[in-house]
Structure 1
Amino acid sequence: MDDRTYTADATPDETVTVAGWVHEIRDLGGIAFLILRDKTGRIQIKFEKEEMDDELVETGLDAPRESVVSVTGAVEEEPRAPTGVEVTPDSVEVLSAADTELPLDPTGKVEAELPTRLDNRTLDLRREAGQAIFEIRSEMQRAAREAFRAVDATEINTPKIVATGTEGGTELFPITYFGREAFMNQSPQLFKQLVAGSNVERVFEIGPIFRAEEHNTPRHLNEATSIDFEGAFCDHHEAMDVCESVVVAAYEGVAENCTEELGALDLAEDFSVPETPFPRLTYEEAIERINATGALDEQLVWGDDLPTEGEKALGDDVGGHYFITDWPADIKPFYIMDHDDDETLSTGFDLMHPRMELVSGGQREHRREQLIEGFEAQGLDPEAFEYYTKIFRYGMPPHAGWAIGGERLLMTMLELDNIREAVLFPRDRQRLSP
C-alpha cells in the first residue's frame, strides 16, 4: 500500500490512510471508537453515528477484533485520545475479517498458557510483550555481528546436513540423503575450524544446530541457534576476550536501541549491561566454592561434572557472568587442546550466567597426531572424519573458539522463565508444528 501512513506518523490537519488490526471497539452510544493497531502503535478512529453514513459506521464497528482494516480520513488533534490524535473516517475497508472467537487475547488483558501461545504464534506476536522479545532478539544478533566484525571476523555459513556427527553419541538426528544415512549437524565446530585454517583466519556464524536430546526442560531445545566464533592464531585467553566483548556488545545494543521493548517487558528500570572483566575461575576453584556453599548433599571431587544445583549455588555466590577454565581433559571433547605442561588439564572453558551455562569453548588441538589420539580416546573412528583430519596434514595454525546458545543468551538477558519464549517456532520432543 504505497499511500499507507503508519499510526505513529499520523499528523493533525492531514488526510491519511492507516491500515492494521482492530485492537478493540469502544461503543459509547452516540459516539464510538475503533482502536487500530499497527507495528508502530495504535490510533483512535472516531465514529459519530448521527453524522456519518450508516454503512460506514456499520462496516467499522461490526468488524470483529483482530480483523485487518484500512481507514482513510482526516487526522485531528484530540488530547483525550491515547496518542493525542484521532482519525475521522471517510472510508473503512475490511481487508480480512477475523473469527469472532479467538484462541487467545492479543491485547494481553487475558493471559494464555504458553502451549496455547505457541500453537497460535502469529496471534501471540500481536501482543506487545511477545513482539518485544523478537525485536530484542534481532537487535541482539545485529550487535553481536558488529562485535565480531570489530575483531576482523568474517561471517560464514556451514552445512546443516552432514555425513558424521560433530560429537557422535545418541544426540544425532539421522535422515535419509539420497539413499545414504546422514545427520542434522550438531554444531558447525569442525567446519568453522577448517575455514579458520584457511587464509580467512577469523570466522563467525549465527545459525541453527540440531540435537536429539532427551531433556524436556525449560532450558533445552532440539533445534537451537548457535552463535559461533573461531580464530586462527588465538589461544583460549584471547577467545574468552572475544566472547566477553560479544556478550557485552549484545547487552549494550539492546540497552541503547530497545528501550520501548524493554518497557513492554517491565525491564526498563532493571536492565543493565554486565560489568567487565568477567571473573575467570578454574574448575578446581569452582568446585571448591560450590562445596563451600553447602548446597549439595555430597561434596564434589575432581572430575565431577557440575550439577545444576551446584551451578546455581556458584552463580548466586559470584553474582554475575563468569568463566570456568582449566577443565579436566577427560570431560571436554576430543578437539579441545590440553595444557602443554599438564595433560590432565584442558584449555576448555565455559561462560556461565548465574542461571545457567551459556558458552562452551577452548583452544583446539591443531597437531594431527594428538587430534587422532583424542578421537580414539573418546571411542570415535578417525577415518569417519577424514574430510576433517586430512586438512591437519597441510599446515593448521593454532586456533581457538567457542559457541553461545543464542536462546539461552536471550533467555537470561530478559529473565524469561522458559527458553521456548525466545524462539519463534520452537522444536522440542513434543512440538513439530507450527
Structure 2
Amino acid sequence: MAIYRKTHWVGEIKPEMDGREVTLSGWVWDIRDVGRIKFIVLRDREGMVQVTVKRSSVSEETWNAVSRLAKEDVISVRGVVKASKVARAGVEVEPIEVKLLNKANPLPIDIWGNVDETMLDLRLRYRVVDLKRRVNVMLFKAMSEVVRAMRNVLYSHGFIEVFTPKIIATSTEGGAELFPVQYFERTAYLAQSPQLYKEELTASLERVFEIGPAYRAEKHDTTYHVNEFISVDAEAAFMDYRDVMGVLEDVVIEAYRAAAPILSQMGREVKVPVKPFKVITYDEALSMLDKEGVKVKWGDDIPKEGLEKLSSLIKEPFFIIHFPTMLRAFYTKPIEGDESRSESFDLVIDGMEVTSGSTRIHDRKQLEEAMKARGLNPENFAMHLEAYDWGMPPHAGWGLGLYRLMMVMAKVRNIREVILFPRDRYRLTP
C-alpha cells in the first residue's frame, strides 16, 4: 500500500484504539522539539492528533526526516495508537515511519492565530491558504451537510432534482442585469435563475428542485451581495404559496439541524427554528416599521434597515407575505379580488432576506398582461409562453440563497466568508 494512502482520518483516532497500527496522512500543523522527543500536531480535514517521535524508537532515516519538517509540510505517518493521559484528546500516535510527501514554503498569511476581519481582502487573495484554517474547514463541512439535508427534505416531499441550462438566450425575469457570453456566432447570457425552466417542468415532472449557480450582473458593493451564488430552487405543480412555504419551513429547519453540531464546535450558538414560522403581511410590516420610525412607502421594497428592525422585534425567522403585485416579478400571481397585492412571500432570518417565492400565474393570457404591465414584450418570451398552451398546471415555488442562509446560521458579517472563491464586482480571481 502506498505510504500516503491513509487507513483512518485523524478525527477517528481514539484512546480505545490503543495498540492498533494506522496510517495517517495530512499536514504539519505544529512541531515542537524537546531534544530526544519531537511532537508533531498532524492535521487533516477531520481533526488533529499528536504524533510523538522518540529518538530511541525510530530509525535514523525517520528521525532525520522529522528533524527537517516545518509547518504545513505534507506528510504520511505509519504508527501505533497509544492512549495517553497527557496528550490532546487522550491519544497520540507513536510513529514507525514518517514520510515527507511535499515541502511547504512559508505561508503568505497567518492561519494559526486569531484573524482580523479587516484582513478579508488579503485572505481572499490567498484563499487556498486561508481555507486551511480550522474554522473554514468546519464551515464548509457544515455547508455540505446543509445541502445534503435540503436534498433529503425535498426528496421526502416528492421533489426530484433537475439541472437546467446556465447559458440562456434571454433574460429570465426581464431585467437587464445579465452577463453576456459569446456563444459561437451569437450573444447568450448567464442565467439569473432557473425560474422559467423550473416552471415549465411542473407540466411534466410536477415537483422539481435544483441546487446550482446563478448570476446577477448587479453593481452591488455590500456585505451580502455577490455576482455568482448558489440558488436552491423548488417548484411544485398543484401547490400555492402557502403550500411551498410549508416545504420551505422543513428545508430550513433541517438545514439548521444539520449544521448545528459542526457550527457549535466553532463556538457559534445555533438555535434550530420551530414550526410554524411567524407570518406578517407586507402592510403589517410597514405599520410595524412606521411605529419604529422607519418610513417605507407602500409599493417600495423593504430596505435592509427595515428587515433588521423587524427581526429585532420578532426575534425568530418570519415570513412577509402579500407584497404589492408590481413589486414582484411578472410571473407572480395576484390575489383574486385584490389585484394590487400578490400571493408572494419572503423569508427573513436575522435581518436577512434568504428566500423569495410565490404562487405563479399559470394562465397564458394573464401572464402576457403581467409582462406588458412591466414594459416587457411577450414576443421575447415566445418559447416559454408556448408551454402555457399545452396544459400548464397551477404551481408555486421559491428560490433560496444558500450563501445567505449559511451567513446567518454561522453568524458571519460578510457573505464572502461562506464562499470558497467569491465572485463580486471587483473580484474575478483566484
Coarse TM-score class (shorter-chain normalised) = over 0.9
Q: Which residue of 245, 249, 252 corresponds with 2:254?
A: 249
Amino acid at match of 1:335: Y
Aligned-pair distance for 1:384? 1.4
Q: Residues 214, 129 of structure 1: CA spacing in aligned structure 2 closer, same or farther, 3 A cutoff?
A: same
Does the CA contact (< 8 Å) of 1:358 and 1:408 recur in 2? Answer: yes
SS of residue matched to 1:94: strand
Q: Residues 264, 118 of structure 1: CA spacing in aligned structure 2 closer, same or farther, 3 A cutoff?
A: farther
Aligned-pair distance for 1:192? 0.2
Q: Residues 147, 74 of structure 1: CA spacing in aligned structure 2 closer, same or farther, 3 A cutoff?
A: closer
SS of residue matched to 1:203: strand
Aligned-pair distance for 1:276? 2.0
Q: Which residue of 305, 312, 317 corresponds with 1:309?
A: 305
Equivalent residue number for residue 378 of structure 1: 374
Equivalent residue number for residue 322 of structure 2: 326
SS of residue matched to 1:330: helix
Does the CA contact (< 8 Å) of 1:351 and 1:360 recur in 2? Answer: yes
SS of residue matched to 1:336: coil
Q: Residues 3, 154 of structure 1: CA spacing in aligned structure 2 closer, same or farther, 3 A cutoff?
A: closer
Q: Is the aligned partner of 1:129 residue 2:128?
A: no
Q: Is the aligned partner of 1:224 residue 2:220?
A: no
Does the CA contact (< 8 Å) of 2:310 and 2:351 recur in 1? Answer: no
Q: Residues 321, 3 of structure 1: CA spacing in aligned structure 2 closer, same or farther, 3 A cutoff?
A: closer
In 1, Cα distance between the equivalents of 2:308 and 2:389? 43
Does the CA contact (< 8 Å) of 1:128 and 1:264 recur in 2? Answer: no
In 2, Cα distance between the equivalents of 1:411 and 1:226? 14
SS of residue matched to 2:257: helix
SS of residue matched to 1:136: helix
SS of residue matched to 2:95: strand
Does the CA contact (< 8 Å) of 1:5 and 1:17 recur in 2? Answer: yes
Structure 2 gaps, min length 5: none
TM-score (norm 1): 0.93
Q: Residues 3, 358 of structure 1: CA spacing in aligned structure 2 closer, same or farther, 3 A cutoff?
A: closer
Amino acid at match of 2:319: F
In 2, Cα distance between the equivalents of 1:83 and 1:47? 18
SS of residue matched to 1:106: coil
Does the CA contact (< 8 Å) of 2:45 and 2:137 recur in 1? Answer: no
Equivalent residue number for residue 7 of structure 1: 10
In 1, Cα distance between the equivalents of 2:190 and 2:53? 56
Does the CA contact (< 8 Å) of 1:318 and 1:354 recur in 2? Answer: no
In 2, Cα distance between the equivalents of 1:129 and 1:430? 25
Equivalent residue number for residue 264 of structure 2: 263
In 2, Cα distance between the equivalents of 1:169 and 1:285? 29
Equivalent residue number for residue 412 of structure 1: 408
Amino acid at match of 1:263: S
Structure 1 gaps, min length 5: none
1:9-408 equivalences under 5 Å are: 9-10=12-13, 11-49=17-55, 52-99=58-105, 101-109=106-114, 113-198=119-204, 200-255=205-260, 259=261, 261-267=262-268, 270-294=269-293, 296=294, 299-408=295-404
In 2, Cα distance between the equivalents of 1:370 and 1:276? 34
In 2, Cα distance between the equivalents of 1:191 and 1:227? 14
Aligned-pair distance for 1:15? 2.8
**Residues 22-62 of structure 1, C-alpha deviation per residue, up to 9 Å, x if partnerless?**
11111122322111112232222223336654442221132
SS of residue matched to 1:345: strand
Amino acid at match of 1:91: E
Further displaced range: 416-425 or 305-314: 305-314
In 2, Cα distance between the equivalents of 1:3 and 1:148? 35
In 2, Cα distance between the equivalents of 1:324 and 1:85? 52
In 1, Cα distance between the equivalents of 2:30 and 2:114? 12
SS of residue matched to 1:300: coil
Q: For this pair of structures, how many residues does the alignment match?
A: 423
SS of residue matched to 2:198: helix
In 2, Cα distance between the equivalents of 1:110 and 1:176? 41
Amino acid at match of 2:212: G
Q: Residues 152, 355 of structure 1: CA spacing in aligned structure 2 closer, same or farther, 3 A cutoff?
A: same
RMSD: 1.8
Further displaced range: 6-15 or 36-45: 6-15
SS of residue matched to 2:229: strand
Aligned-residue identity in percent: 42
In 2, Cα distance between the equivalents of 1:207 and 1:3? 32
TM-score (norm 2): 0.94
